[in-house]
Chains A and B, each alone.
Chain A
């Protein structure tokens, strides 16, 4: 019988077992195949849908690969200047304290140019959610060294590897902001396996529930890959991430108040 299944059979509505999250727009994702952004977008949108809060949510898109996040998410969003998303989110949350506000930022945006905005939004305990995607590189501009690039790791602006003596050390900003009394939930996740996807979703859900309970700032780092920037295949990128990124950026909750 299985041999007789045609393409028409497969796409029949009654045979549908998986579909895109309703809060995704119809626009095809612009991310590279194998990139974590699509999955992380989906997790955020699933959480908003399941909590039933999409109509009360305002997102802030950064500068970086996810600069066009607002084209994929069917919610009201603001696009912020490079690094300024936590300040923009502060402005939104302060005038709309009952709405759900989140930023979606990469490592260059959050941990280099936006370090001051990140630390101070965390320190004020802004009741927002920050989703921080860390792939150790500037993806959109073509693979330059990021604040989170590992020692010895190659990037287009450190072609012989990051020399920490002259280029500084990778910044563990997640551990840093966990020290601040304004943060309530600080965690580091990944989305390279189904198990990790489930854990990451639970963390994102908690980060939005904390907002509902006015617990202060919740911060979810997702360690991800950049196979284009790292110049390896998606499978090799995930393997490299597990072997090199995870030892430096260990997964798990760092703070949960």
Chain B
């Protein structure tokens, strides 16, 4: 039977964590995502499923607790917001380097620095291009609704374990804080077993399980990097996700993810009321980025407006996809400000149609 609830995005993340059979959550409070740990603590997941929830002394500690639990083959996750995610970059690099599965939620706020607690999309570069040191990628999913906040927790863990790679849900303060109807999936039991690579204590019957990202021999470290790159190519080939809204007859295109894509849906409606054929392309996986789908749309439309709550970050990937075939411009509000549908349409008219 369907279980429907009205929930905040942050609460949906937390409820989904318990329901997908997560083993552990380690986190540190930061606005605008503190409801995740508050909800978990109030729910007593140690009684519901045996899931561990611990408030760490810092984001540096919480991501390293994730490393330890993930190294044991357990489903471990954390959530934070921009300044806290910056503190986690060291740990994320080690997790990527040790090929550990985990889920990290970034409820983005405006920066740089302490910035603002209002929503933003200015962590796109950090999330999709690596973030920490070394050649690595997180798999990045961008929900645009509270429903997707819930669903992507489960999908994120599945991807993390399938590829032994950290997964990030890149969302923002608007989706984290807003309330919507959510259809919750049924409780999935926590796994009784761990993957064969997990660090669980060495029985006499097998060799040691060592979780490390260290390889002093540069030849072997290069080989390891090539193995990682091969994995990333596989992820790029198989895990691209996107949504096309009214793109079939579109002459112009908005490209936007997350909260911006929600606002752009209204802009599409306003444009079509004026007789302008506009579609919306919503990348769902930001890494891997849907280059091919955008390239193929660039043969159909006359111009693209990239709409982001940043000074223009995803636009670089769109331009890579489009190969200068058509005009691609950016419109964004940032530092915690959000655009309204009419100003986005106006920007399309001035920058793309009239430009």
Tell me the A residues contacting B by CB distance below 8 Å: 25, 54-58, 60-61, 67-68, 70, 74-81, 84, 87-92, 94-96, 99, 116-117, 120
When the two chains form their complex, are residues A79 and B54 in contact, meaning their CB atoms are under 8 A apart? no
28 sampled A-B residue pairs with Cβ under 8 A? A25-B208, A54-B201, A55-B201, A55-B202, A55-B204, A60-B68, A76-B201, A77-B211, A79-B210, A79-B211, A79-B213, A80-B64, A88-B67, A88-B71, A91-B26, A91-B66, A91-B69, A92-B199, A94-B69, A95-B24, A95-B52, A95-B69, A96-B200, A99-B201, A116-B61, A117-B64, A120-B56, A120-B61
When the two chains form their complex, are residues B65 and A91 in contact, meaning their CB atoms are under 8 A apart? yes
Residues on A with C-beta less than 8 A from B24 are 91, 94-95
Residues on B with C-beta less than 8 A from A95 are 23-24, 52, 68-69, 72, 74, 76
Instruction: Tell me how far the C-beta of A225 lies from the nearest C-beta in chain B, rounded to whole angstroms.
Output: 24
How many residues belonging to B are interface residues under a CB distance threshold of 8 Å? 39
When the two chains form their complex, are residues B57 and A92 in contact, meaning their CB atoms are under 8 A apart? no
Residues on A with C-beta less than 8 A from B58 are 116
Instruction: Tell me how far the C-beta of B191 lies from the nearest C-beta in chain A, rounded to whole angstroms.
Output: 11
* Among all A-B residue pairs, the 4 with the closest Cβ atoms: A91-B68, A91-B65, A87-B64, A79-B212
Within 8 A of A (CB), among B56-85: 56-58, 60-62, 64-72, 74, 76
Cα–Cα distance between A84 and B56 once the two chains are bound (Å): 12
When the two chains form their complex, are residues B54 and A90 in contact, meaning their CB atoms are under 8 A apart? yes
How many A-B pairs fall under 8 Å by CB? Answer: 127
Residues on A with C-beta less than 8 A from B203 are 55
List 13 additional A-B contacts (Cβ < 8 Å) besides A84-B61, A91-B69. Answer: A57-B201, A70-B208, A75-B202, A76-B201, A78-B210, A79-B212, A79-B213, A87-B61, A90-B65, A91-B24, A92-B68, A116-B57, A117-B60
Cα–Cα distance between A68 and B66 once the two chains are bound (Å): 21
Residues on B with C-beta less than 8 A from A94 are 24, 52, 54, 65, 69
Contact of B72 among A68, A87, A96, A120 (CB under 8 A): A96
Tell me the B residues contacting A by CB distance below 8 Å: 23-24, 26, 52, 54, 56-58, 60-62, 64-72, 74, 76, 90-91, 94, 98, 199-204, 208-214
Instruction: Tell me how far the C-beta of B153 lies from the nearest C-beta in chain A, rounded to whole angstroms.
Output: 18
Cα–Cα distance between A70 and B24 once the two chains are bound (Å): 25
Q: Across the two chains, which residue of chain B brings its CB closest to A23?
A: B202
Q: Across the two chains, which residue of chain B brings its CB closest to A93?
A: B68
When the two chains form their complex, are residues A67 and B214 in contact, meaning their CB atoms are under 8 A apart? yes
Most chain A CB atoms below 10 A, which of B67, B70, B214: B67
Q: With A74-B208, A91-B67 as known contacts, state yes or no: A58 contacts B200, CB within 8 Å.
A: yes
Cα–Cα distance between A90 and B74 once the two chains are bound (Å): 13
Residues on B with C-beta less than 8 A from A76 are 199-202, 208-210
Q: With A84-B91, A91-B68, A96-B72 as known contacts, state yes or no: A77 contacts B201, CB within 8 Å.
A: no
Residues on B with C-beta less than 8 A from A91 are 24, 26, 64-72, 76
Contact of A87 among B56, B70, B71 (CB under 8 A): B56
When the two chains form their complex, are residues A78 and B212 in contact, meaning their CB atoms are under 8 A apart? yes
Contact of A81 among B91, B199, B209 (CB under 8 A): B91
Cα–Cα distance between A227 and B290 once the two chains are bound (Å): 57
Contact of A78 among B56, B74, B91, B199 (CB under 8 A): B199
Instruction: Tell me how far the C-beta of A158 lies from the nearest C-beta in chain B, rounded to whole angstroms.
Output: 27
When the two chains form their complex, are residues A84 and B202 in contact, meaning their CB atoms are under 8 A apart? no
When the two chains form their complex, are residues B72 and A77 in contact, meaning their CB atoms are under 8 A apart? no
When the two chains form their complex, are residues B91 and A92 in contact, meaning their CB atoms are under 8 A apart? no
When the two chains form their complex, are residues A81 and B76 in contact, meaning their CB atoms are under 8 A apart? no
Instruction: Tell me how far the C-beta of A80 lies from the nearest C-beta in chain B, rounded to whole angstroms.
Output: 7
Residues on A with C-beta less than 8 A from B61 are 84, 87, 90, 116-117, 120
